[in-house]
Amino acid sequence: MKKHSVALIQHYYGTLPNYFPLWLKSAGYNSNFDFMIFTDIDFSGYNVPSNVHVIPMTFDEMKARIARHIDYDFICDTPYKACDYILLYGLYSKIT
């Protein structure tokens, strides 16, 4: 992975929107940024630019990895509610 000063970390579970190929193309043009997507979606059918890094991970795996790094009960029932823990996303760099 090429290291840049800015990395955007996101999780995505569910169905990708129909405009996702356009987002990938746009991300590719922003080569000064790294995009890290934690997901259980198969990206093999997409043209993924070199600055977009797909990290295969189920929602349960994501929850377990975060829970190992915090000292309270990590309760998150749906991927949508994971945004409540956005401040913990910095831990991803320690868990990949």
Q: What is the mean pLDDT of the chain?
A: 82
pLDDT of the residue at 49: 97
pLDDT of the residue at 80: 77
Within 8 A by CB and 6+ apart from 16, the residues are 41
Which of 10, 55, 50 lies closest to 32 in space, CA to CA? 50
Question: Is residue 60 within a helix (H) or strand (E), and if so which, with residue range?
Answer: helix 59-67
Within 8 A by CB and 6+ apart from 8, the residues are 33, 34, 35, 36
Tell me what the mean pLDDT of segment 51-75 comes to.
Answer: 83
Extract the tokens encoding 34: 């790294």
The model's confidence at residue 94, banded by pLDDT at 50, 70 and 90, is: very low
